[in-house]
Amino acid sequence: MSVQFAVQWVHVLLGIFWFGSVLFADIILAPGLRQMSPAGQQEFGQHVAVRITPIMRVVSILVITLGVLRGTVFGRIDSLDDIGTIYGAAWALSLVFATAVMLWGELVTAPRIVRMRAAGPGEVAAATTNVMQSAMVELAGFFVVFTLMIVMHFH
């Protein structure tokens, strides 16, 4: 198996995991959490949400790093001039959006998860809603990145 194949395989697998986790959280998990009592939401946060941030941190860094390698070392981006092509522009924009999604998760969503876990009984519902709203912003960013991946495939 070539290194290029391995880089592509891991990049795609982890990208699916990252994007899929946000899709699952927004479409399945969030509605379920909204139906739970504040105590149930907080219990969920204590047992499950505590694992989300460190896992997503590693996954997002690997996806972005492998994407850079996939585009440069193992791809078509040999110089800054290549950014002027459709492929290059899509690659650069996907790098920007993926990094923005990662930073949003680290700087906005993760602190909201911490606040949700520490919230008092009267604050849990609002804190949970804040986490879910933050995840929706991440989801919007992923749709942009996903679209750019398809553009790159055809150019």
């850079």: which residue's tokens? Answer: 68
Q: Residue 1's pLDDT band (boundaries 50, 70, 90)?
A: low
Distance, CA of 26 to CA of 48 (rounded, Å): 15
Q: Name the DSSP letter for residue 73.
A: T
pTM of the model: 0.86
Q: pLDDT for 19-42, tens place per residue?
A: 999 899 888 888 887 788 877 877
Burial class (CB in 10 A: 0-12, 13-18, 19+), 27: exposed
What is the rounded CA–CA span in Å between residue 138 and residue 25? 11
User: Alpha-carbon distance 95 to 137, whole Å?
Assistant: 17
